[in-house]
């Protein structure tokens, strides 16, 4: 293989695809990127056997159709380190790949392209298109609530529900729940899939907030998304997501309206003296007043008072303050609405400026 290309032309697809490469691999070839020249284009593919990223670029010159694999992160770091608007020459010699640019020269090891693994062939059962900003919004409003390495493997991902009129994303780790809905006309059919955590995290990184659309294709075992010249494929989690509708509290009659930034700063002040392990805070609701209390094993205490809009009966309730802060950092409106029932029931948090998103946080005993 031999080609010459402008640095920026190669850097973008490398940047798009390098996220699938694990730093520790069970197979050496999974640390490589597959370079494949075909009809004057260069295709780049990376995979960890769970997700696969495919992007392409157009070299200034390229010799024939061929393929090879080289260390992905090393090639990316080389490309990133080179000056802008420089030309890169790439060629293979035996089991080495030579990369030249200006007075810099790099020699990389290669592995045979025919040994590079591929995901199972994808058969689309449903397809729809969304603006990139809307899909990114759905992910950003819910992804933070996904579980990490939970034995209930179906919680280590994001539920994607699609109906003819709505797209919904849901995530929970058993202690909190995040739901985001988007009303949009997609046609017919109803589908429900669980997208793995790594795929969701990588998508959130890759999808930019500019104009453009994402084409989503759903299969029986995989999901495929195409945007910005990138094809993103991920295996799906085979499991049954909990009935999240049953978790959303109904009949919470105690309503609190509070400034988002005011609450965030108050929680951060109280967190200084909170228990570093359990991160618990007590919210004491009084007439138009909220007291936030925290303490730690050293018998140190913090108390912060806030003026709020509240006319219900007095109530004390404990929460993990990290869960509260995660919601506050996710929403963008100036005011938060908190709906309570009693000290042992979960709270429903929403942002009046974003009616499509809601959050449920379980209380904790302090």
Residue range 269-316, pLDDT digits in tens: 999 999 988 899 999 999 999 999 999 999 999 999 999 999 889 999
pTM for the model stands at 0.92
Spatial distance between the Cα atoms of 157 and 216, rounded to a whole number of angstroms: 17
Average pLDDT, the chain: 95
Give the model's pLDDT for residue 23.
Answer: 83
- 176-219 per-position pLDDT tens digit: 999 999 999 887 789 999 999 999 999 999 998 888 999 999 99
Spatial distance between the Cα atoms of 88 and 80, rounded to a whole number of angstroms: 12
Spatial distance between the Cα atoms of 24 and 66, rounded to a whole number of angstroms: 28
Q: Are 341 and 249 in contact (CB under 8 A)?
A: yes
User: Is the backbone of residue 98 left (phi > 0), alpha (psi -120 to 50) or beta?
Assistant: beta
Give the model's pLDDT for residue 241.
Answer: 96
Q: Are 316 and 290 in contact (CB under 8 A)?
A: no
Asked if pLDDT for residue 62 goes beyond 80, the answer is yes
The encoded tokens of residue 321 equal 């303050």
The mean pLDDT value for 63-80 works out to 96
Give the model's pLDDT for residue 366.
Answer: 77
The mean pLDDT value for 141-157 works out to 96
Cα distance between the two ends of the chain:
65
The encoded tokens of residue 301 equal 């205490």
* pLDDT tier for residue 26 given thresholds of 50, 70 and 90: confident
- 253-267 per-position pLDDT tens digit: 999 999 999 999 999
User: Between residues 227 and 185, which one has the greater pLDDT?
Assistant: 227
Distances from the Cα of 190 to the Cα of 127, 155, 199, 218, angstroms: 11, 21, 22, 11
- Pairing state between β 51-57 and 2-6: unpaired
SS3 content of the chain, % helix, strand, coil (to 5): 25, 45, 35
The encoded tokens of residue 169 equal 């994303």
Give the model's pLDDT for residue 119.
Answer: 86
Give the residue from 291, 248, 296 showing the smallest Cα distance to 275.
Answer: 296
Domains of the chain with bracketed CATH: 2-115 (3.10.150.10), 126-246 (3.10.150.10), 254-361 (3.10.150.10)
Q: Are 87 and 60 in contact (CB under 8 A)?
A: yes
């Amino acid at each position: 293989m031999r080609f010459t290309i402008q640095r920026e032309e190669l850097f973008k697809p490398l940047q798009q695809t390098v996220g699938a490469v694990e730093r520790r691999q069970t197979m050496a070839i999974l640390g490589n990127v597959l370079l494949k020249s075909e009809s004057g284009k260069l295709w780049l593919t990376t995979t960890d056997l769970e997700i696969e990223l495919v992007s392409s670029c157009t070299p200034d010159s390229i010799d024939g159709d061929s393929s090879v694999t080289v260390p992905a992160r090393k090639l990316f770091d080389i490309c990133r380190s080179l000056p802008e608007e420089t030309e890169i020459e790439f060629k293979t010699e035996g089991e080495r790949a030579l990369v030249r640019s200006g007075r810099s020269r790099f020699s990389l090891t290669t592995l045979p392209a025919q040994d590079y693994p591929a995901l199972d062939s994808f058969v689309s059962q449903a397809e729809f298109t969304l603006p990139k900003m809307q899909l990114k919004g759905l992910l950003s409003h819910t992804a933070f609530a996904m579980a990490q390495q939970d034995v209930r493997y179906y919680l280590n991902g994001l539920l994607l529900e699609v109906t003819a009129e709505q797209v919904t994303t849901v995530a929970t780790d058993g202690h909190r729940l995040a739901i985001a809905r988007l009303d949009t006309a997609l046609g017919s059919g109803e589908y429900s899939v669980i997208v793995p955590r790594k795929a969701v995290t990588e998508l959130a990184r890759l999808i930019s907030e500019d104009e453009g659309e994402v084409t989503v294709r759903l299969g029986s075992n995989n999901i495929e998304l195409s945007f910005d010249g990138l094809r993103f494929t991920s295996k799906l989690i085979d499991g049954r997501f909990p009935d999240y509708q049953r978790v959303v509290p109904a009949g919470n009659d105690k309503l609190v309206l509070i400034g988002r930034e005011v609450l965030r700063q108050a929680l951060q002040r109280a967190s200084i003296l909170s228990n570093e392990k359990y991160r618990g805070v007590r919210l004491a609701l009084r007439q138009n007043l909220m007291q936030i209390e925290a303490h730690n094993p050293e018998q140190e205490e913090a108390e912060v008072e806030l003026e709020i809009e509240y006319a219900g009966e007095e109530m004390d309730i404990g929460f993990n303050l990290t869960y509260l802060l995660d919601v506050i950092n996710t929403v963008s409106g100036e005011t938060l609405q908190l709906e309570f029932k009693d000290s042992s029931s979960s709270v429903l948090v929403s942002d009046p400026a974003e009616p499509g998103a809601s959050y449920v946080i379980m209380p904790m005993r302090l």
